[in-house]
Amino acid sequence: MKLPRKEGREGATGKRLQVGFVLARSFTLSAFALFVDTLRLASDEADKSGRILADWKVLGSTRHLITSSCGVQVAPTSDFVDPSEFDYVAVVGGLLRNDLAVDDETLSFLKMTATRNVPLIGICTGTFILAEAGLMRQHETCVSWLHYQTFRERFPDHPVRADRLYNLDHERGSCAGGSSAADLAASIVRRHVGPAAERNALEVLQIDKARTAFDIQPRRPLEIESGDDRLRAALILMESHVEKKISIPEIAKIVGLSRRQLERIFIENTGSTPAVVYQKVRMERARQLVLKTKAPLVEIAVEVGFTDASYFAKTFKKVFGQSPGALRSRRVAATADLG
């Protein structure tokens, strides 16, 4: 089945940009809306919604409504067609607790798309769906810092990072979700339609400037404020490697610095060395686990990178002024009083 081609102007690549969307059950509406609206506003002038320079379809194995995580429903506009008709097929994920995010027919379509050399994009947790289908193993996956640990647990042999907003190579794309969906869409528009179309879309969306694939996710571990992207990236790397620690020289290498340069930036911005800050990041994760879970303290120690439970307790007390057991006991007592 062929997708219809409408008459009209063509983009920078000589043809209308075509994108197919696959929506997971409980998909994230904001990520989908930002991506598709960037295409819509880039496709025409004066916000008339004409599909002149770009076109898109919401694909599905059925025409049943797909419910987003906020309850708003979207109807597929097309059955699964020849994926070669698209420049990209984008999978929009959502809540991870849904074990059946997509059906078997959808997975088969995604695998066929890969065999046709059509680039696949995972938006938000759409990357999990692509990874489950075996389609991300050879590609670096960008995920939100919120989902980094879960991705590593499910796909330990997949390269993944949680410091950048998005990643896009010739075969796969991925983004952290949220507003980064607009940044990724803008990059695609610029590549296939042109800078003027990208600028038009962003201006109507009230976005001053699209962020690049090298921009850092807006996450501030330990509430450390800094305008230095390299320090922010290092902090996110520390937060992403709590159980399996990463060395300070390796962190420096990833963010493009020498160890000495990284230490200088940390001391100037935080008053502490990277090693001290890293320990604080691990202890803060431990504190959250002590307060919000019933996990044994031994398990918490392992989860934040300690092999010795007694040393973990000693370090915890040094940082927070009380042992993890005492902190949990006070939390339990306070909860009982409220009850």
pLDDT at 287 over 60: yes
Q: What pLDDT shows up at residue 8?
A: 40
- Report the percent of the chain where pLDDT is more than 70: 93
Q: Quick one: average pLDDT of 280-287?
A: 92
pLDDT digits (tens, 9 = 90+) for 96-115: 976 789 999 999 999 999 99
Distance, in Å, from the CA atom of 2 to the CA atom of 310, rounded to the nearest integer, reads 66
pLDDT at 5 over 50: no
pLDDT digits (tens, 9 = 90+) for 146-169: 898 899 889 999 999 988 999 999
- At 10, is the pLDDT very low, low, confident or very high (cuts 50, 70, 90)? low
Distance, in Å, from the CA atom of 87 to the CA atom of 52, rounded to the nearest integer, reads 15
pTM summary value: 0.75
- At 225, is the pLDDT very low, low, confident or very high (cuts 50, 70, 90)? confident
pLDDT at 44 over 70: yes
- At 179, is the pLDDT very low, low, confident or very high (cuts 50, 70, 90)? very high
Beta-strand pair 54-59/66-67: unpaired
pLDDT digits (tens, 9 = 90+) for 248-271: 999 999 999 999 999 999 999 999
Give the 3-state secondary structure of the chain: CCCCCCCCCCCCCCCCEEEEEEECCCECHHHHHHHHHHHHHHHCCCCCCCCCCEEEEEECCCCCCEEECCCCEECCCECCCCHHHCCEEEEECECCCCCCCCCHHHHHHHHHHHHCCCCEEEECCHHHHHHHCCCCCCCCEECCHHHHHHHHHHCCCCCEECCECEEECCCEEEECCCCHHHHHHHHHHHHHCCHHHHHHHHHHCCCCCCCCCCCECCCCHHHCCCCCHHHHHHHHHHHHCCCCCCCHHHHHHHCCCCHHHHHHHHHHHHCCCHHHHHHHHHHHHHHHHHHHCCCCHHHHHHHCCCCCHHHHHHHHHHHHCCCHHHHHHHHHHHHHHHC
